[in-house]
Amino acid sequence: MRYKYKFFLRKIAIAALTTVLLYYAVVFIHAGTIWFFNENILIELVFAFFFLFALLWSHIVISKAFTSEPIKSLPNSWKAALEGVTVVVISIAIWYLMYYLPYTFIFSLFGAKLALLPERLRLAYVISSVASLFFYYFVERQRNIKQLQAEHLRAEQLQKENFRAQLEALKNQVNPHFLFNSLNVLSSLIYVDQDKAATFLSQLAEVYRALLDSGDKQLVPLEQELSLANAYIYLMRTRFGDNVQFQVEVPSEYLHLQLPPTSLQMLLENATKHNGSTSTKPLHIRIYVVDEKLVVENNLQPRLEEVASTKVGLQNISSRYKYLTDKKVEIKQSEQSFTVALPLLDVATYESSYS
């Protein structure tokens, strides 16, 4: 929102400054001086400003049109010619609507003594076309090029973070300690409850499948992330029993919102990895939504033994959010609890912010 506000003010400033410069350049050509001002000049300056402002906004529309399908698939020579003709035609149409018609019909109703001579009319067409082409190719096109370069860089950085998150999640899951404990639980279940062992194995496979499938995505729906989390929660419940208790309270109206893949699972893993749990002092992990933020909260009871940690989980999640939105990951710690709030993103809002 702040960017769009500044962008709007920048367009107003450019239109106002250009109006004065171009108008008095033409006045100097005809009169040999710029040192005069009257009511008619004020009226013309106002209309010139709105003309240029409308022209600049038309350039944004044209630029978006020529970078979208199916136009951008045209041969470059055809696309360049069509783009230039479109800029000129639209600039003349805007000039006709905002200059010629007011001069011809509106001002005459009020008895204004303003008239456009044929020579001045032709000159206006030429100047408006040249100015339009100049602003389009040297201002709007350059802005688009810089924006595309920034988006490519952001996409590359985000892809790097996604690969890093995928690698980190897989490393955490495949490390000998986790794999040994999971297989140990599975081994004991086979002799006690084969149906439960089969379910445990399928959930373990679901965790790995979800981790692999989400590695190339920037965002996934909360519903998909919860599916991964539920599979992971089943493994933890089977392994720890009542020592770790999960409470998931996510209303269905939030399931379409999105967040970076594996971020919820990484938070659950951090909670079980860094906190101890017993039958008398269970670890409580709660997942809920507040103000369109997914909150993961656990009671704080650090393990007595030292836990090896790369300390990149939260940093990775925060970095990915920086590339996606201005909304920040909120991390709070008190004497009793540790809380992380992940902003839930609307896909349409996310796409329009970079369009």
Q: What is the pLDDT of residue 355?
A: 46
Contact 216, 187 (CB under 8 A): no
Contact 246, 236 (CB under 8 A): yes
pLDDT above 90 coverage of the chain, percent: 18
Give the mean pLDDT of 24-35: 68
Nearest to 238 by CA among 177, 181, 307, 179: 181
Domain extents in the chain: 2-153, 175-352
Tokens 């980190």 — which residue?
Answer: 168
- Over the stretch 157-216, which tens digit does the pLDDT of each residue have? 777 777 667 656 655 554 455 566 677 778 878 888 888 888 888 888 877 777 677 656
> Cis ω on the peptide bond leading into residue 70 (within 30° of 0)?
yes
Q: Can you count the helices (H) and strands (E) in the chain?
A: 13, 7
> Which listed CATH number (3.40.50, 4.10.280, 3.90.550, 3.30.565) goes with 175-352?
3.30.565
Contact 343, 291 (CB under 8 A): no
CA 301 to chain centroid, in Å, comes to 37
Contact 304, 276 (CB under 8 A): yes
Nearest to 339 by CA among 321, 310, 314, 322: 314
Give the mean pLDDT of 332-351: 85
Q: What is the pLDDT of residue 298?
A: 96
Contact 225, 261 (CB under 8 A): yes
